Amino acid sequence: MNVAGAGFEPPSSADFIFSPFIGQSAYLTKPIALVFLSVLFISIFFIVAAKKAAIVPSRLQFAGESLYGFVRNDLGRDIIGPEFIRFVPFLFTMFTFVLVNNIFGIVPFLQFPTMSRFSFPVVLSVLTFVVFHATAIKHKGLGGYLKEIMFMPGVPKLVYIILTPMELMTFFFTRPVTLAVRLFANMFAGHLLLLVFILGGDHLLHGAIGLKLVSPFAFTIGIALTFFEFLVQCLQAYIFTLLTALYIAGALSDEH
Amino acid sequence: MSAILRDAMSQQGTPESGPKNPGDGAAWSIVSYLLSGLIFWGGAGWLLDRWLGTKVFILVGLILGAGASLYLVWLRYGRQ
């Protein structure tokens, strides 16, 4: 990379593939280590935050409670409605897990958003898929649920030929796919963008004198983009959980 | 009921307070409806084109799909 005279090698999807720490095991790579780290971090954080619960909360307890209150009230109660409380653990786990793994993208030394490897969002999206369908089937019965999806009330019979396949596709294909792809693509693109500016800046720094002068601009944009990435990372964790809550709300509603 | 109590209650939000206001998250879930229409009917048109050796049905399918998606979104979210 910093060998003089070598051409700049632009970051690519190859930068998302890590070699194993030990031997050839495909399970001992950085993204997987990060997932374990995130679970460890979230567990310790909330155990410590909840341990000495007091009426006048410590700063840590306040942080933990605010986060929990946000998911419970804004994502659970306001969207799902009266039966929200049994979905709060799921939503809360989902939100904190995605949030921490996204933010790993800009944490010094970790610097890799786990969700930019497609299989992680896929697993989370499958979880959501199972939860909202199971909820709906439990709530409405399989027949009732399918009927609700396929036959919108108040539509002429012939129109069902056009609408029914689209509805089925939305519920069983597009919803889980868009959920996974949105999270993956945002994290992937964001990480790539940071790589371009920061590795690019580094390359310029090792170039000719004219290039050295330009290098600070690349780093400046890189730093600005890091802050921007922080926003995107929080927003994507929020949207992922918001959509999960919306799908569960749809599964529980009787209006259609 | 005293004004203070009423204030406190309205701030807390009753547990039964309306399930979901559609405006909030609907925008995000509409995306999958729009995609479904395009993919399904566009795909059907494309298959028909391949079968018949024509080039017009994919266009017809995409337009039909886009229109039907908008109609479906209106049915789901627009007509309260």
Please count the structural domains in chain B: 1
Q: How far is CA B76 from CA A6, A130, B69, in A?
A: 57, 22, 10
* Residues of chain A neighbouring B23 (CB-CB closer than 8 A): none
In a domain, B19, yes or no: no
Residue A41, pLDDT > 50, answer yes
Which residues in chain A are contacts of B14 at CB distance < 8 A? none
Token pair of B39 as six digits? 């993919």
> Which of B16, B19, B68 faces A162 most closely, judged by CB atoms?
B68
**Domain contains B44:** yes
Q: What is the rounded distance in angstroms from the CA atom of residue B74 to the CA atom of residue A91?
A: 28
Residue type present at position B66? A
> Between A50 and A126, whose confidence is greater?
A126
The confidence band for A120, taking pLDDT boundaries of 50, 70 and 90, is: very high
Does the pLDDT value for residue A225 go beyond 60?
yes
Q: How far is A125 from chain B (nearest CA, A)?
A: 14
The whole-angstrom distance between residue A197's C-alpha and the CA centroid of its chain comes to: 23
Per-residue confidence (pLDDT) for residue B61, from 0 to 100 = 95
Q: Nearest CB to B32: which of A82, A175, A239?
A: A175
Tokens 């439990």 belong to residue: A138
> For residue A215, is it within any domain?
yes
Model confidence pLDDT, tens digit, residues A146-175: 998 888 888 888 999 999 999 999 999 999
Residue A5 confidence (pLDDT): 53
| Best of A158, A164, A169 to mutate (most B CBs within 10 Å, chain B) | A169
Report the distance separating Cα B36 and Cα A166, nearest Å.
6
Q: Which domain holds residue A246?
A: 87-252
CB A241 within 8 A of CB A91: yes
In a domain, B55, yes or no: yes
Quick check: B20 and A80 CB within 8 A? yes
> Would you say residue B4 has pLDDT above 80?
no
Tell me the residue type at A224: A
CA dist B32 and A176 (Å) reads: 9
Whose structure tokens read 């539509």? A155
* Contact between B17 and A77 using a beta-carbon 8 Å cutoff: yes
Give the percent of chain A with pLDDT over 70.
97
Identify all chain B residues contacting A79, using CB atoms and an 8 Å cutoff. Answer: 19-20, 24-25
* Domain assignment present for A230: yes
Query: Does B10 reside within a domain?
Result: no
In chain A, positions 3-62, which contact chain B (CB-CB < 8 Å)? none
Radius of gyration of chain B (CA): 22
Average pLDDT for chain A? 91
pLDDT band at B80 (very low <50, low <70, confident <90, very high): low
| Residue A33, burial from CB neighbour count under 10 angstroms (0-12, 13-18, 19+) | middle
Closest CA to A167 of B69, B78, B31: B69
- Answer yes or no: do B20 and A78 touch at CB < 8 A: yes
Q: Give the pLDDT of residue A58.
A: 84
Least CB-CB distance to B32: which of A82, A170, A242? A170
pLDDT attached to residue A141: 93
Choose from A84, A155, A162 for mutation: most chain B CBs within 10 A.
A162
Residue A80: CB partners within 8 Å, gap ≥ 6?
A: A87, A245, A248, A249, A252, B19, B20
Q: Say how far apart CA A229 and CA A6 lie, in whole Å.
A: 30
Average pLDDT over residues B30-59: 93
Domains identified in chain A, total number: 1
pLDDT band at A107 (very low <50, low <70, confident <90, very high): very high
CA distances from A50 to A45, A84, A211, A214 (A): 9, 22, 52, 49
What confidence category does residue B21 fall into, taking pLDDT thresholds of 50, 70 and 90? low
Of B24, B31, B40, the CB nearest to A169: B40
The answer to whether residue A229 is domain-embedded is yes
pLDDT at position A222: 94
The DSSP secondary structure of chain B, one letter per residue, reads --HHHHHHHHHH--TTS-S--HHHHHHHHHHHHHHHHHHHHHHHHHHHHHHHT-SSHHHHHHHHHHHHHHHHHIIIII--
Report pLDDT for A19: 86
Q: What is the dihedral of CA A115, B31, A167, A141, to 10 degrees?
A: 60
- Is residue A20 situated within a structural domain? no
- CB–CB contacts below 8 A, A to B: 82
Q: Alpha helix locations (H) across chain A?
A: 30-51, 59-69, 78-80, 88-103, 119-140, 142-150, 160-169, 175-205, 209-252
Does the pLDDT of residue B66 top 90, yes or no?
yes
Note whether residue B7 is domain-resident.
no
Domain span at residue B48?
A: 28-80
Q: Is residue B67 part of a domain?
A: yes
Q: Which tens digit of pLDDT belongs to each residue from A47-95?
A: 998 887 777 788 888 999 999 999 999 999 999 989 999 999 999 999 9
Minimum CA–CA partner of A236 in chain B: B28
In this predicted structure, the answer to whether residue A3 has a pLDDT above a threshold of 60 is: no
In a domain, A22, yes or no: no
**Domain presence at residue A236:** yes
**Both structure tokens of B69:** 């998606």
Asked if residue A55 belongs to a domain, the reply is no
| A72 touches B: beta carbon within 8 Å | no
CB–CB of A165 and B21 under 8 A? no
Residue A54 included in any domain: no
Contacts of A80 in chain B (CB under 8 A): 19-20
pLDDT for res A47:
92
